A and B are shown apart, each in its own frame.
Chain A
């Protein structure tokens, strides 16, 4: 186990105007599950590859367990990586795939077999060991890839969107497996994803990235409820946080915070505002109300989200009174979009 740390890390690819990773600082804690979350092209995979040693940084430092790693090849870094495509060797059986890192480490065959059996047992793939990757399902391949990462007992796990090739149903199950698996082995893990549900569900902390920088680093609760800027606020959440301009600030609130009057107990600082509902989308577990809000600033299109447990009738094409609690309001400045101090509306 080890702490992964990067300092002033920059990666500039030749021919690109802006760096893929831009003067980035980040440190995990011991045994932490850190998720790098961001839209495609935000530099999260590049950052992971820099940590792995598959890319060399333009400048800056990578430390694993306190030791400087820049210039060392991946095999000297005591890391294991799971790739989006799983990158299993197609000409080798699952057993030979899992065994490969051990062979590379020159472990003797008896020890090797023991290790493979242990990893296979842990991931429940013992009966699949003699199959080639071609004869395995997506979920099984993913387990083999995990087993291959696990056998050498690395200091750090690096996972690059390991769930994105699975279909939606499998993904939920695999997410659960991943979490249990990490709880058991307790190895520091850096996990890259563009899927916020995965990030929220798996991460001890989430680093939200955009344009090669970290916009916010915090627990899933923090990044969701106290976003550091408008990017984080609108990237997380589905539908994203509503933003309404009022004088020199942007007022933000989550769709689930905008509720019909009477449903919610108003707190100190709560605002009651007229909401004109245009359209209702019933998604089963929840209802999305799309409409215009006029009470806070200029008329703005916003979305309200009611859980199916709130069964109030919402008249369409009419204006009703809605409430946002004071504690659910967030404020951002209009220039950089950074969070500013709370105020009363």
Chain B
């Protein structure tokens, strides 16, 4: 009997559930419960003032869809994520290619490039708030000094420039992550293949487009989708920089859900807005898993 107990942990049937338990608890408590709570709220008339639960069907969704600010938020979310990811992809790839080369003080450069990623998002956003300040912006100052502009640009006060600013900060934040992931993908290309391409007569561009990029495509896809999820769900950058303004010009789904549900007190509508993130996130998750599988078969 004593012996049996000694080998208890050698049995997969015992050890596996035990090891998995903490993460299951974590996911259930912090992902599943809030998710189903959001679904329940979105079908009810719960507000901060009146938390009693009454089922109202799809009323909230209908109301949300009619709301022009919601539509603006949805298109903003999609637009900002898409543009950010295109820029991240190009810049991340270039950075990764540079960082896989050998040069002096490479570690310093690597460290500096990774720095934005290690900075907490709200902190970084506050720093950017000063960079883009309407009076003291160092960017404006530099542009003025170069003679490119006369007055200040009011980055966050102008509705187009505010969107540009949000995109710029998101790109700044995500590029390091993408570069590091793509770098890992590039490093995984066997040296023999690079050598073969050189012997076969491929110059820099042919090698890049016919060997390097196709071979790091799955990992690049993972980096892109990962970044897209991070940008799509992030609310701190917009919240700190513009609070969705000016006049909802930079409102995105997460901030609008927050303003509606928490600040505005209409928890039910806030939940309905937030649930619009779900189908898109689901699609991205499926795509990520697919490219990971593709990476395994290569």
Which residues of A approach B to under 8 Å, CB–CB? 49, 52-54, 73-75, 79-81, 83-85, 87-91, 100-101, 103-105, 134, 148, 152, 158
A91 touches B214 (CB 8 A): yes
B125-157 interface (Cβ within 8 A of A): none
A83 touches B201 (CB 8 A): no
Please, which residues of chain B bring their CB within 8 A of the CB of A104?
A: 200-203, 206
B297 touches A87 (CB 8 A): no
Please, which residues of chain A bring their CB within 8 A of the CB of B217?
A: 91
7 A-B pairs with the lowest CB-CB distances in the bound complex, closest first: A104-B201, A87-B192, A87-B196, A75-B201, A101-B200, A81-B199, A74-B199
A91 to B197, CA, bound (A): 13
A84 to B190, CA, bound (A): 12
With beta carbons under 8 angstroms apart, the residue of A54, A80, A90, A152 that contacts B195 is: A54
Please, which residues of chain A bring their CB within 8 A of the CB of B215?
A: 89-91
A75 touches B198 (CB 8 A): yes
Distance between A121 CB and nearest chain B CB, rounded to angstroms: 20
A221 to B292, CA, bound (A): 54
B298 touches A90 (CB 8 A): yes
CB contact under 8 A between A52 and B206, given known A87-B192, A87-B193, A90-B215:
no
Which residues of B approach A to under 8 Å, CB–CB? 190, 192-193, 195-203, 206, 210-211, 214-215, 217, 297-298
Please, which residues of chain B bring their CB within 8 A of the CB of A88?
A: 196
B192 touches A105 (CB 8 A): no
Please, which residues of chain A bring their CB within 8 A of the CB of B297?
A: 134
A74 to B200, CA, bound (A): 8
A54 touches B206 (CB 8 A): no
Please, which residues of chain A bring their CB within 8 A of the CB of B193?
A: 87, 89
Please, which residues of chain A bring their CB within 8 A of the CB of B203?
A: 75, 104
Please, which residues of chain B bring their CB within 8 A of the CB of A90?
A: 215, 298
Please, which residues of chain A bring their CB within 8 A of the CB of B190?
A: 85, 87
B192 touches A101 (CB 8 A): no
Distance between A167 CB and nearest chain B CB, rounded to angstroms: 20
Most buried by B among A53, A75, A84: A75
Distance between A254 CB and nearest chain B CB, rounded to angstroms: 38
Distance between B118 CB and nearest chain A CB, rounded to angstroms: 31
A8 to B211, CA, bound (A): 35
A152 to B202, CA, bound (A): 13
Distance between B240 CB and nearest chain A CB, rounded to angstroms: 42
A103 to B202, CA, bound (A): 9
A263 to B156, CA, bound (A): 101
Most buried by B among A73, A74, A134: A74
Most buried by A among B192, B200, B215: B200
A118 to B217, CA, bound (A): 32
A74 touches B298 (CB 8 A): no
B210 touches A100 (CB 8 A): yes
Distance between B101 CB and nearest chain A CB, rounded to angstroms: 16
Closest B residue to A73 by beta carbon equals B198
A91 touches B298 (CB 8 A): yes
A105 touches B201 (CB 8 A): yes
A211 to B199, CA, bound (A): 26
CB contact under 8 A between A54 and B198, given known A84-B192, A89-B193:
yes
Distance between B218 CB and nearest chain A CB, rounded to angstroms: 10
Known: A49-B195, A75-B203. 14 other contacts (CB 8 A): A52-B195, A73-B198, A74-B199, A75-B199, A81-B195, A84-B192, A87-B196, A91-B215, A100-B197, A100-B200, A101-B201, A104-B200, A104-B201, A104-B202
